[in-house]
Amino acid sequence: MEQTRPIVAVVDDDPRLLESLEELLESAGYAACCLRSAEHLLARGLSDLDLLITDIGMPGMNGFELRDIVNKARPELPVFLVTGRHEIADQGRARGISGFFRKPFDAPALLIAIGEALQKSRNGG
C-alpha cells in the first residue's frame, strides 16, 4: 500500500529550476506540481496542496502577492519563498520570515524544512 504522497506545488518562471525541483521533490518522495506562474497555480486551485514553494521575482504576480492570496485562502498551508535576487532577501519585508530560501539553496536543508513544515501542519491539522 503506497501511502498518499504529500503534494508540493512549485511556482517559478524558470523551467530549469522547475525541472530540478520536481526531480528533487520526487526523489524525496513528494508529488511535485510544477507551475510557470502564480496565475497558473491559482487557476489550478489550492485545495489539494500540502505545501507551496514559489519564486519571488516573476512576471505578472510576484511571490509575495501569491503568498498573501494563499494565506488568505488557506492560512494553514506552509509557503516557502525562493529568490535568486539576494537584494530582495535583504529587504525588510523578507526578513524574519521562515521558509525563505536563496538560490542557490541548500537542497538537504530545503527538504528538511519541507518535512518539518508538513509534520507541523499535519500535527496542527
Partner 1 sequence: MTSAWSYRPQLLHLGLFFAAYVLGCGFAQALAIVPGTGISIWPPSGLFIATLILAPKQSWPWWVLVGCLGELFGNALWFHSPLPAAVLIYAGNALEAMVGAWLVNRTLGRPVRLETLREVLVFVVLGAGAAPVVSATVGSATLAWFGIFSQTFLGAWPLWWIGDATGVLIVAPLALVVIQNWKRKAELSAARWIEACAVGLILLGVAALSLGGYLPFAYIIMPPLLWAAVRFEFKGAAVTLALLALITAIFTISGASQFAGNAENQRHNQIMLQLFLAISAFSALVVAAISRQHQLALLTLSQSVEALRDRERELSQIVNMVPVHIRRLTPEGEPTFFNKRLVDFFGFDLQQLNRPGTSQLAANIETLVHPDDAPSLLQAVRHAVATGEPYSMKYRMRRADGVYRWVDGRAEPLRDEGGKILQWYAISIDIDDEVRAQEALRDRERELSQLVDALPVHIWSWTPAGKLAYVNKRSLEDLGLSKANFEDTVRVAQKLVHPEDAPEVLRASANCLKTGDAFMMRYRRRWKDGNYRWIEARAQPLRDQDGAIVHWYQVSIDIDDQVQAEEALKSSKRQLEQMIDAMPFNILSFTASGKMTYTSKRYLEDVGSPTADIKDFDALARDVAHPDDFPTMFQRASDGFATGQPFVNRFRRRNKQGVYRWIEARAQPLRDADGTIVQWYIASIDIEDEMRAQAALRERERFLWQLVETLPAMIDCAAPNGEPVYRSQQLREFLGYELEELDGKPKSRLNGTLDAGVHPDDVAGVKEQYAHCLTTGEPYLRKHRLRRFDGEYIWVETRAAPMRKDDGTIVQWNVICLDIDGEVRMQEELRLAQERLARASQAASLAELSASIAHEVNQPLAAIVANSHACYRWLSAEPVNVARAKITTERVIRDANSAAEVVGRIRALFKQSVENRTSLSLSGVIAEACNLVAGEALRRRIRIDSDVEGRLPPIAIDRIQIQQVLVNVMRNGMEAMEAVAGEKSLTVRAHCVGSEVQTEIGDRGNGIEFPDQIFEPFFTTKENGMGMGLAICRSIVEAHGGRLWAEKNEPHGARFIFTLPIVGKAAP
- Site residues (vs partner 1, CB under 8 A): 14, 16-17, 19-21, 23-24, 26-28, 57, 82, 84-87, 102-108
Question: Closer CB to partner 1, residue 20 or residue 121?
Answer: 20
User: CB of 61: closest distance to partner 1 in angstroms?
Assistant: 19
* Cα-to-chain-centroid distance, residue 124: 19
Question: Closer CB to partner 1, residue 46 or residue 105?
Answer: 105
User: CB of 29: closest distance to partner 1 in angstroms?
Assistant: 9
- Going by C-beta distance under 8 Å and a sequence separation of 6 or more, which residues neighbour residue 54? 9, 10, 11, 12, 38, 41, 63, 66, 67, 79, 80, 81, 82
